[in-house]
Amino acid sequence: MMTALTGTPGTGKTTIAAIFTARGIPVVSQKETMGPHILEHDADRDTDIIDEDAWVDAFVPMEGIIEGHLTHLLPADRVVVLRCRPDILAARLRARGYSEEKVQENAEAEALDAILIETLEVHPEEQITVIDTTDQSPEQTADEIEAFIRGDAPHSLAVPDWSEYLGRRV
């Protein structure tokens, strides 16, 4: 069974991956699988542009967890969508030294439920669970994900309403 761990940058995928690794549960990063599908490097945005369709088409499903903000596009059996309230997400990204443009862009995408909407276009609802990380610790988040993967916790599509953050700087 393959579980995709997705979410807007800053929602906590890498942090959770490190916790799983420490618990002896290996996690593969999407970056490790994208090499052959990089089209170019966007120096302004410090990001690689990848051929997403080619990456998805070539992807051989694996056992375990794959993390990254595009992994919901993959043929996963389960998808965990991490969420974070836009103003808190902005603070997390500023602390990383992101440009204000990138901070606002990601906060707006989070307020718009962009990744969740994409996930719902690819996967049936029962495969998807949404976890709001805003007010919980990374360990709690990791525990919830483990329970979902084991089948001990039902999926949840409780979608926070962050429409008040739309169209304004946070």
Ligand X SMILES: Nc1ncnc2c1ncn2[C@@H]1O[C@H](COP(=O)(O)OP(=O)(O)OP(=O)(O)O)[C@@H](O)[C@H]1O
Residue 2 or 19: the one with the smaller Cβ distance to ligand X is 19
What are the binding residues for ATP?
10, 12-15, 96
The CB-of-150 to ligand X minimum distance in angstroms stands at: 19
Q: What are phi and psi of 137, to 5 degrees?
A: -80, 160
Distance, in Å, from the CA atom of 153 to the CA atom of 118, rounded to the nearest integer, reads 23
Taking the mean position of all CA atoms in its chain, how far away is CA 149? Answer: 16
The CB-of-17 to ligand X minimum distance in angstroms stands at: 7
The CB-of-36 to ligand X minimum distance in angstroms stands at: 21
- CA distances 101 to 53, 65, 69, 90, Å, are 27, 31, 19, 11
Residue 72 or 92: the one with the smaller Cβ distance to ligand X is 92
The CB-of-94 to ligand X minimum distance in angstroms stands at: 11
Question: Which among 82, 118, 58 has a CA at the least distance from the CA of 3?
Answer: 82
Residue 30 or 59: the one with the smaller Cβ distance to ligand X is 30
Q: For the CA atoms of 142, 134, 73, 148, what is the dihedral angle to 10 degrees?
A: 30
Residue 99 or 126: the one with the smaller Cβ distance to ligand X is 99
Closest residue to bound ligand X by CB: 12
| Site residues, ligand X (CB under 6 A) | 7, 9-16, 69, 92, 133, 136-138, 141
Residue 167 or 170: the one with the smaller Cβ distance to ligand X is 170
The CB-of-60 to ligand X minimum distance in angstroms stands at: 23
